[in-house]
C-alpha cells in the first residue's frame, strides 16, 4: 500500500521543510494502522520539487519525513522524487518511477499495489505502473480529476476499509 504524502497523509504546506508545520490529514493514523494490521507493507511515494527549485533542502525533506514517522509510525519505504517538472525524470508523478522503485524495494509486483492520493497525478502514476489507484479528494483536487477517477473515497480510512484486507498483495 503506497500513500502520497502531501494532501493525503499530511496537510499540504507547499515546499514544507519545517517539521513543526506537519499536520495529519483526517483519519490518516487510523488508515495507516489498519493497513499495518493486515501485515501489508506500507510506503510513501512523494514528489518534492522544492528541492530542484532551491526552496527546500534534501535535509529538510528528511526532517519532515522523520516528523511524519513520529506521528504515523515507521514506513517500510519512502520513495521521493526531488526533481522539478522541467527535469522530465521518470520518477516524478505522473510517471511510474516512484511506484516501481517502492515496489522493487518491497519485493512486490506493482500490479498488486494500491496507491492512495489526492490528485490526478497520483492516480496516473498508479495506472502507468500497473497499480490500482484510489483518489481521496481534498480542497485542491480538481473536479475533472474526481470525474476521471475509477475509485474515490471521502477520506483515507474509508478508502482503506473499502479495500479487501491484504489488498496490497493481490492483483
Look at the block and give the residue holding cell 473515497.
153
3-state secondary structure of 44: strand
Cα separation values, 105 from 99, 100, 110, 118, 123, Å? 10, 9, 11, 24, 20
Q: Which residues in 1-32 are b (16+ Cβ under 10 Å) and which e?
A: bbbbbbbbbbbbeebbbebeebeebebbbebb
Instruction: Please pick, among 4, 12, 18, 169, the residue that the annotation labels catalytic.
Output: 4
Instruction: Please pick, among 6, 18, 109, 118, the residue that the annotation labels catalytic.
Output: 6
Distance CA 141, CA 137 (A): 5
Annotated catalytic, 118? no
Residue 51: count other Cβ atoms within 10 Å of its Cβ: 21
**Pick from 41, 133, 40, 130: nearest CA to 79:** 41
Distance CA 20, CA 88 (A): 31
Annotated catalytic, 109? no
List active site positions: 4, 6
Amino acid at each position: 500500500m503506497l500513500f502520497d504524502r502531501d494532501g493525503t497523509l499530511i496537510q499540504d504546506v507547499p515546499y514544507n521543510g519545517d517539521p513543526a508545520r506537519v499536520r495529519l490529514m483526517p483519519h490518516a493514523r487510523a488508515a495507516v494502522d489498519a493497513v499495518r494490521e493486515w501485515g501489508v507493507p506500507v510506503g510513501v511515494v512523494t514528489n518534492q520539487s522544492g528541492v530542484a527549485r532551491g526552496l527546500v533542502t534534501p535535509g529538510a525533506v528528511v526532517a519532515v519525513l522523520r516528523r511524519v514517522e513520529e506521528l504515523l509510525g515507521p514506513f517500510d519505504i519512502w520513495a521521493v522524487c526531488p526533481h522539478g517538472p522541467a527535469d522530465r525524470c521518470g520518477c516524478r508523478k505522473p510517471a511510474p518511477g516512484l511506484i516501481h522503485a517502492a515496489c522493487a524495494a518491497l519485493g512486490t509486483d506493482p500490479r498488486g499495489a494500491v496507491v492512495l492520493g489526492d490528485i490526478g497525478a497520483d492516480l496516473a502514476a498508479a495506472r502507468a505502473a500497473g497499480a490500482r489507484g484510489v483518489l481521496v479528494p481534498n480542497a485542491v483536487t480538481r473536479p475533472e480529476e474526481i470525474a476521471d477517477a475509477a475509485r474515490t473515497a471521502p477520506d483515507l480510512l474509508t478508502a482503506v476499509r473499502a479495500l479487501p484486507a491484504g489488498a496490497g498483495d493481490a492483483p
